[in-house]
């Protein structure tokens, strides 16, 4: 038999190449391509199948309301768009040790309380380890089954044996199908197993939750290679050295995306955080400090107040350092360029460090104005009043641009005792503005700086 030709697959994004490449042309990752021998596939033959879906008119498709299992954890239900949809497949990705197993086991406990049968397939830990964790989490054992298994065929047998409503696979990288020669965790194993589970979810109506570790190196495929095939993709993020965690939805066929849920990791598991802005600002004092401002980011539809800190100082390097934590690096460079050109701030001999406090990742342009003000106030050693919130996107010509969800952001700031909101002038007039908070519109970045800086 002719040897099957191997191919090189990027473990980050799934890009395929016939030979080795040091850098992936698709996702620009270095050393991410790994060699795989493809499984032997039979060519497609068209034959008469009795079990096929016939074409029907779109207008005849019945729109029965989807059955959703609410988990009782409001933060999780909101991120899922109202609960787990029956027969759907949800992928939960995140760094190892962030709390994925804890979240899913707690979810099983909540479902069990409602009388739903769930099956926890533990492909990494023994049943005793899972029971110890379940004891620690104080969860309801009735209706919760455990199967330590890695072979996908035996997993299917387990599902057939007890017909659960919800199945958790922890983790997809440890599951394998004997039909493929490559090792568990390789791109082809992970994809093949995921598509088999997807087909099972669709045909049997079982809801599947699949856990995928985000991998930085090694030969393991990350959850990114599965994103296109699943119904919902959630990422569990956070700073491992801090206790809170963010659950972010980046794809949802049954609800909105970009919503976030906030949890706190405690000794007895994950607790929901109802007022995340308070948590993010909890370590901030009431005195104004140069380089510190508060922005109102909007993650999905949910407003979130976050402190932005900047530190600007003379460099001792031939070219000055630029460091951004929790904010996109290129975005910071762009804002620094605008500050130099449009405001006249000379940063060419200054190191600049910018940090979104609390380990949160700010992905939204409305943070621009806050970042610019943090840098400008630190560089000029002036202060923004601590009860002022800064909202706005900054354009290349130094203009402050319109942003969305403005009223929700201002309301959140007012709830936390802020007295003034600096917003883009183009967002004025604000419809139904909250009372007792001064709203000031600014046209250009330079006006924003003079307006926000406290007289002292």
Give the binding site for ligand TYD (CB under 6 A).
Answer: 94, 96-102, 133, 136-137, 265, 267-269
- Which of the ranges 47-55, 98-106, 276-284, 431-439 carries the binding residues for Mg ion, by CB under 5 A? 98-106
Residue 269, binding choice from ligand TYD, Mg ion, none, Cβ under 5 to 8 Å by partner class? ligand TYD
Residue 109, binding choice from ligand TYD, Mg ion, none, Cβ under 5 to 8 Å by partner class? none
DSSP-assigned letter for residue 112 = H
- Output the smallest distance, CB 192 to ligand TYD, in A: 23
- Output the smallest distance, CB 131 to Mg ion, in A: 15
Backbone angles phi, psi at 190, to 5 degrees: -60, -45
Residue 84's closest CA among 65, 99, 72, 69? 69
DSSP string covering 225-241: GGTTTSSEEEEEE--TT
- Which of the ranges 62-70, 95-103, 106-114, 222-230 carries the binding residues for Mg ion, by CB under 5 A? 95-103
Residue number, 93 or 398, with CB nearest to ligand TYD: 93
- Output the smallest distance, CB 170 to Mg ion, in A: 6
Residue number, 149 or 237, with CB nearest to ligand TYD: 237
| Out of 32, 71, 101, 277, the residue judged to bind Mg ion by CB under 5 A | 101
Helices 445-452 & 368-380, crossing angle to 10 degrees?
Answer: 60
Residue number, 136 or 216, with CB nearest to ligand TYD: 136
CB within 8 Å of 7: residues ≥ 6 apart: 16, 17, 18, 35, 36, 38
Residue number, 32 or 104, with CB nearest to Mg ion: 104
Helix (H) or strand (E) holding 309: strand 302-314
Parallel, antiparallel or unpaired: strands 322-325 and 350-356: parallel
Residue 440, binding choice from Mg ion, ligand TYD, none, Cβ under 5 to 8 Å by partner class? none
Residues in a beta bridge with 213: 94
- Output the smallest distance, CB 104 to ligand TYD, in A: 8
DSSP-assigned letter for residue 127 = H
Question: Nearest to Mg ion by Cβ — which residue?
Answer: 101
Q: How many helices (H) and strands (E) does the chain have?
A: 10, 23
Where does 234-320 have alpha helices with state H?
A: 276-280
Residue 216, binding choice from ligand TYD, Mg ion, none, Cβ under 5 to 8 Å by partner class? none
Residues 351 and 320: beta-carbon distance below 8 Å: yes
- Output the smallest distance, CB 453 to ligand TYD, in A: 42
Radius of gyration of the chain (CA): 25
Residue number, 211 or 376, with CB nearest to ligand TYD: 211
Residue 430, binding choice from ligand TYD, Mg ion, none, Cβ under 5 to 8 Å by partner class? none
Instruction: Give the 3-state secondary structure of 23-55.
Output: ECCCCCCECCEEEECCCCCCCCCCCCCCCCCCC
- Output the smallest distance, CB 126 to Mg ion, in A: 13
Residue 133, binding choice from ligand TYD, Mg ion, none, Cβ under 5 to 8 Å by partner class? ligand TYD
CB within 8 Å of 228: residues ≥ 6 apart: none
Residue 19, binding choice from ligand TYD, Mg ion, none, Cβ under 5 to 8 Å by partner class? none
Residue number, 173 or 297, with CB nearest to Mg ion: 173
DSSP-assigned letter for residue 94 = E
- Which chain residues interact with Mg ion by CB under 5 A? 101
């Amino acid at each position: 038999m002719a040897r099957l030709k191997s191919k090189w697959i990027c473990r980050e994004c799934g890009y395929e190449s016939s030979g080795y490449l040091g850098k992936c042309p698709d996702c620009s990752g270095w050393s991410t391509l790994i060699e795989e021998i493809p499984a032997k596939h039979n060519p497609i033959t068209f034959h008469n199948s009795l079990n096929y879906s016939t074409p029907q008119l779109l207008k005849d498709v019945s729109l029965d309301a989807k059955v959703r299992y609410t988990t009782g954890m409001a933060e999780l239900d909101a991120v899922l768009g109202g609960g787990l949809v029956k027969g759907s497949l949800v992928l939960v990705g995140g760094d190892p040790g962030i709390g994925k197993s804890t979240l899913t086991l707690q979810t099983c406990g909540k479902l069990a309380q409602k009388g739903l049968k769930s099956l926890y397939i533990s492909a990494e830990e023994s049943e005793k380890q899972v029971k110890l964790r379940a004891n620690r989490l104080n969860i309801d054992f009735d209706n919760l089954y455990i199967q330590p298994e890695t072979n996908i065929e035996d997993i299917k047998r387990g599902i057939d044996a007890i017909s659960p409503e919800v199945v958790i696979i922890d983790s997809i990288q440890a599951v394998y199908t004997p039909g493929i020669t490559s090792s568990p965790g390789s791109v082809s194993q992970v994809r093949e197993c995921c598509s088999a589970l997807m087909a099972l979810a669709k045909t049997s109506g079982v809801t599947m939750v699949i856990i995928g570790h985000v991998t930085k190196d090694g030969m393991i495929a990350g959850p990114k290679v599965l994103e296109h095939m699943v119904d919902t993709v959630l990422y569990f993020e956070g700073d491992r050295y801090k206790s809170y965690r963010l659950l972010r939805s980046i794809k949802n066929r049954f609800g909105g995306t970009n919503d976030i849920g906030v949890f706190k990791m405690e000794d007895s598991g994950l607790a929901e955080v109802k007022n995340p802005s308070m948590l993010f600002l909890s370590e901030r004092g009431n005195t104004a400090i140069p380089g510190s401002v508060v922005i109102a980011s909007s993650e999905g539809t949910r407003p979130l107040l976050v402190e932005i800190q900047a530190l600007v100082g003379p460099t001792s390097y031939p070219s000055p350092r630029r460091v951004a934590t929790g904010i996109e690096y290129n975005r910071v460079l762009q804002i620094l360029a605008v500050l130099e050109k449009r405001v006249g701030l000379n940063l060419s001999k200054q190191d600049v460090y910018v940090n979104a406090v609390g380990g949160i990742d700010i992905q939204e342009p409305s943070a621009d104005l806050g970042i610019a003000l943090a840098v400008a106030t630190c560089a000029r050693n002036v202060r923004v009043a601590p009860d002022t919130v800064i909202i706005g996107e900054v354009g290349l010509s130094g203009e402050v641009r319109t942003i969305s969800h403005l009223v929700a952001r201002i309301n959140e700031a007012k709830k936390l005792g802020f007295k003034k909101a600096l917003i883009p002038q183009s967002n004025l007039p604000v419809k139904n503005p909250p009372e007792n908070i001064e709203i000031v519109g600014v046209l250009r970045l330079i006006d924003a700086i003079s307006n926000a800086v406290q007289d002292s």
